[in-house]
Amino acid sequence: MTEKSNILLIYTGGTIGMIKDSETGALKAFNFDDLLNNVSELKLLEHNIDTYSFEKPMDSSNMNPKYFAVMAGVIEDNYNKYDGFVILHGSDTMAYSASALSFMLENLTKPIIFTGSQLPIGDLRTDAKENLITAIQLAGLKRNGKMVITEVGLYFEYKLYRGNRSSKVNSEHFKAFDSPNYPPLAVSGIHLKVNYPLLKKPNYRKQLIVHKELNDDILILKLFPGINKKIIEQVLSIKGLKGVILETYGTGNASSEDWFIELLKQCINREVYIVNVTQCSAGGISMGKYETSTRLKEIGIISGNDMTTEAAVTKMMYLLNQDLRPKVFKSIYETSLRGEME
């Protein structure tokens, strides 16, 4: 017999809750209650479902740390009332939000499952219903009276990924997300198959700590052949800059020209943290493997290991607000906090 769970469904906006404007053809948000009425199958679920909706549903392109804090606050306020949470979110920035909440919610012992869709829920061929229904089932899974999933996940097109390991990889296919460096936590077919050894192990003795303050004085600098000194100099000298996610080639390689290394070194000397992540969709950083990454390691560039850019960005936002000394910051950043890296 399936154990009942109490689930809070949090609606932030996104394609899943959109309809087409009859005059312009553009997608716009509609009433959340209407969204639920479009999914009569929810009544067949064994779980008790309550809902919370953003006052004004938003396109996820407008997502920012202020809204990360709102989501974290809703979970904090309702944490003791519910067994699990499902967050309906636009797919474009979903991996950023899932990564951010994984860091913001310390000592999590309950599931937070993000999902959305590529087509509106009222569309004839929509992927929204399956994503929504299965996300709720996953959020409600219990085993021996305890929640099966106790971390932030992202469910899309039959697979549940660790939230901070996921990236959006396709803007047109229903399989919009992937987790290239970590296997799916669960796969939905005729049965829900959970990969139990891959799940994060909770510590039930520790209380949930919610970190709502993030520092967004950071930027992503993606290298390309021909990027010039003048541009990099201007970017790295931005007033108030605290952190840089440096997207490099392959296993963490970059130009070894003196001017480039010197600009990075000057930045680090001003206590601006620079994290090295790969531009590749899979694999990670191995600074020192090639000569072109040895100098980066020597000047103190932080290794992002096999993190996604989304996780690297939100982890930096989280740690910058912890007021850590440079050596401590580097040490903690290079340590897996929420299963975001090997």
SS3 call for 103? helix
Which string of DSSP letters, residue by residue, matches 322-339? T---HHHHHHHHTS-SSS
- From the candidates 12, 15, 309, 314, which is the catalytic residue? 15
Catalytic residue flag (residue 15): yes
Show the beta-strand stretches assigned E in 176-313.
177-178, 186-188, 192-194, 209-210, 218-222, 243-248, 273-278, 302-303
CA distance linking residue 200 with residue 273, whole number of Å = 28
CA distance linking residue 62 with residue 72, whole number of Å = 17
Q: What is the side-by-side strand order in the sheet with 273-278?
A: 218-222, 243-248, 273-278, 302-303
First CA to last CA across the chain, in angstroms? 37
Q: Is residue 9 classed exposed, middle or buried when 0-12, 13-18 and 19+ CB atoms within 10 A define those classes?
A: buried
Q: Which residue carries 């392109």 as its tokens?
A: 61
Q: Which residues lie below 8 Å from residue 16, measured CB to CB, with a gap of 6+?
A: 35, 88, 115, 116, 117, 120, 121, 128, 131, 132
- DSSP label at 270? T
Give the phi and the psi of residue 243 in degrees, each rounded to 5: -155, 150
CA distance linking residue 187 with residue 179, whole number of Å = 13
Cα 211 to Cα 11, 77, 104, 256: the distances in Å are: 21, 13, 5, 38
So which residues are the catalytic ones? 15
